[in-house]
Chain A
Amino acid sequence: MVSGSADPASAPATPRGIPHRGGPMNPSADRIRDRFGSSFVRAEVTWGETTVFVRPESVYDIVRYLHDDASEQYDYLSDVTAVEYRDLELPLQVVWHLRSLPYRRFLRLKAEIPKGAPLRVPSVMPIYSGADWLERECFDMFGIQFDGHPDLRRILMWEQYAEGYPLRKDFPLRGRFSRSEQLRQALAAQPESRYSMTELTIADAFEDLPLEMRQRLAGGEKTGE
């Protein structure tokens, strides 16, 4: 049984002899095509996994349908990530891995963002609260804006990280800055600056701040560790 095409009544088994291309397609792909005709781009089956390509702006509606509809019930968001190809002509892809626990289905949803277009996709956080950190990481590593995410800021890299987005293909493996510049920035960082402004407004820690940070805070800056 190929994952993604499992019949809920049958017992799942370890997949064997999966073809490279083709094979049974996840029935949700056809239903997305019927329902969201213009937003549906294409669907393909690779190594037994169904990938549905959709237009970036319609991701939220499609995921909402997949999550809510009784015949789909994709209630589990496994992963949100992005892929940039080495061939710089190819579009950057944002990838959602969805699971339907009741139907034991797996679906990969992809939105292609053409080169040069702004990297924006809708956030699915209103649907899956688990998308919070996954989208933040995707923003951190690729610079993709998730519209509707309430708190989209860097997560693995620090707030003031100025070298760009590490997992983009134009980012060199060693980083953009020289080692000496990276070291200089690390040594110059103030321990107090490791609190975001939002956090400092919690308590009366404001008075203990360095003057420069108090000025920034007074200037209305929200984050900026």
Chain B
Amino acid sequence: MAEKRTVEVSLSTSGLDAEGRPQRTPLVVDEGGRVTTLEAPLAIEPELEGEHMLINLGPQHPATHGVLRLVLELDGETVVRCIPHVGYLHCGFEKIGEYRQYNQIIPWTDREDYLNSPGNNVAFALGAERLFGVEITPRCTVLRVIAMELSRIMSHLVWLGTTCIDIGAFTPFLWSFQERERIYTLLEQWIGARLTTTLTRVGGMGADIPDGWMDGLRDFARTFPKTIAEVDRMVTRNGIWVGRTIGIGAMSAADAVNAGLSGPMLRASGVDYDVRKDFPYLDYETYDFDVPVGTNGDVYDRFLVRMEELRQSVRILEQAAERLPDGPVNIDDARLILPPKSKAMSEMESMIHHFKQVMEGPRPPIGETYVAVESPKGEKGYYFVSDGTPKPVRWRIRPPSYVNLSAIPRMVEGHLLSDVIAINASIDIVMGEIDR
């Protein structure tokens, strides 16, 4: 089980084979990032001398998924150069974190990659716990796995819906947002919030799951694959979809690793790097799931990888629901976990703990740690440096979509303007995380 297993996702460049499965032909990407096995490689016509045009895409363009701005140099309809501009949503989270206690930073992690709030909360708590040197309870571990996989599904559903809209299919957007709504309802029952969950605390969770919540989760895990299958049937072999996505924005495996891509972007290029498998956390090595890997690293492969990840997340959810143990959610550590209100108001010792935690904050030992998790966008890392005071000296977010987006000039140059939208959608960016 511990050995890494991969699933080859299907890719079609020339229709279906005898069994009705899409045929696969590995594409060849030249040094300029262009696909050379297509019949007519997209090249700039040297004879047709014309003025190059400057196009400003964004920051208020809906297809840029936020406030991304791309300055494009066009030759006719072909992109010659792409200069991205980011920072319109810069809030200085890392600076603010240096002025907050560890538990007070968790609400900021909600707002950074806001489609993946529970996952960020868990990642932050894992990092802070490493820094404090505490080990969480078995029940908390499984609950966090559930939170991470639910947020992976949530994030991929938003990506699926918006990408389909960008490429011209409206229906999957409605279907995926319906399913996303069900996850938000589950989260609301769990923690009371939907988008900005603040689900974890250092050493535990903000709340245990309410009675009967697991039935709702099992119900979701049972019925959700039906929606994936419907979208799959609508889109995967759709001629327009295939024509708009195959061979677009391809990155070779070596380029993708060198560019620091992570998550589905990297795996679509054929590199089976998944933090859950390679540097496990939360006992991910004991779950039975596969890591989907593509071959060509184009928009279509990224789509297939993410679709398969949805199915694998459901598998992990089912296993987690099976094994959820009883017991406490929070660790038994008066330094970190607030005492119950009734005790804080009646017992002197609990009141002192409460006072010390709220007024001063827990102090980690001097040290530093970098903890990375597999967020829906890729390797999300939190780097903490502590000087022994209740506030971190440095809290650094390693933003996966920031690094993924930095490769966009190489992906779009040589493609058509309309492909820029598809490529940008396939990166799955969240500007809150990029600009922080």
Residues of A bordering B, CB below 8 Å: 3, 11-18, 20-21, 46-47, 49, 51, 75-79, 81, 83-87, 95, 97, 101, 104, 106, 108, 128-134, 137, 141, 154-158, 166-167, 171, 173, 194-196, 198-200, 202-205
Contact = CB atoms under 8 A, between A and B. Distances in A.
Contacts of A47: 130-131, 133, 367-369
Range class of the B interface residue count: 35 or more
Contacts of A203: 51-54, 73
A157 B260 contact: no
Contacts of B406: 130, 132-134
B403 A83 contact: no
23 contacts: A11-B2, A11-B285, A12-B279, A14-B281, A15-B281, A16-B135, A18-B133, A20-B365, A20-B367, A49-B369, A78-B260, A83-B393, A101-B273, A106-B279, A108-B370, A128-B260, A130-B261, A166-B92, A195-B54, A199-B71, A202-B54, A202-B73, A203-B53
B326 interface: no
B52 A202 contact: yes
Contact of B257 (A11, A101, A108): A101
Nearest to B255: A129
Contact of B403 (A11, A87, A106, A130): A130
B273 A76 contact: yes
Nearest to B409: A132
Give 10 nearest A-B pairs by CB, closest first.
Answer: A130-B260, A11-B2, A203-B54, A156-B87, A133-B406, A202-B73, A47-B369, A130-B259, A79-B398, A156-B90
B282 interface: yes
Nearest to B400: A78
A16 to B, nearest CB: 7
Nearest to A137: B402
Given A14-B280, A20-B133, A155 B369 contact: no
B285 A78 contact: no
Contacts of B81: 202
A75 B402 contact: no
B2 A13 contact: yes
Interface string B46-87: 000001111010000000000000010100000001010111
Scoring A14, A157, A194 by chain B CB atoms within 10 A of each residue's CB, the highest score goes to A14
B96 interface: yes
Interface in B77-129: 81, 83, 85-87, 90, 92, 94-96, 99
Nearest to A191: B56
A220 B130 CA distance: 52
B387 interface: yes
B135 A97 contact: no
A102 B141 CA distance: 28
B257 A78 contact: no
B257 A76 contact: yes
Contacts, number: 156
Contacts of A101: 257, 271, 273, 278
B83 A199 contact: yes
B381 interface: yes
B94 A78 contact: no
Contacts of B410: 129
Contacts of A20: 133, 365, 367
A200 B52 CA distance: 11
B220 interface: no
A75 B258 contact: yes
Contacts of B419: none
A171 B14 CA distance: 58
A105 to B, nearest CB: 10
A56 B211 CA distance: 56
A157 B278 CA distance: 35
Interface of B: 2-3, 51-54, 56, 71, 73, 81, 83, 85-87, 90, 92, 94-96, 99, 130-131, 133, 135, 255, 257-261, 271, 273, 277-285, 365, 367-370, 372, 379, 381, 383, 385, 387, 389, 393-394, 396, 398, 402-403, 405-407, 410, 435-436
Given A97-B383, A104-B278, 17 more contacts: A17-B135, A18-B130, A20-B133, A46-B369, A47-B367, A49-B369, A79-B381, A83-B368, A129-B410, A130-B407, A131-B260, A133-B403, A134-B403, A154-B87, A156-B86, A196-B83, A200-B54
A196 B283 CA distance: 48
Nearest to B71: A199
A81 B95 CA distance: 13
B258 A128 contact: yes
Contacts of A104: 278-279
Scoring B87, B94, B283 by chain A CB atoms within 10 A of each residue's CB, the highest score goes to B87
A78 B130 contact: no
A83 B258 contact: no
Nearest to A16: B135
A166 B73 contact: no
Contacts of A141: 94
Given A47-B367, A97-B398, A132-B406, A78 B379 contact: yes
A74 B217 CA distance: 40
Nearest to B280: A14
B41 to A, nearest CB: 23
B297 to A, nearest CB: 15
A157 B282 contact: no
Scoring B135, B255, B369, B436 by chain A CB atoms within 10 A of each residue's CB, the highest score goes to B369
Contacts of B396: 79, 81
A12 B296 CA distance: 28
B133 A3 contact: no
Contacts of B277: 12
Contacts of A167: 94-95
Nearest to A85: B393
A14 B369 contact: no
A78 B258 CA distance: 10
Contacts of A11: 2-3, 285
B21 to A, nearest CB: 30
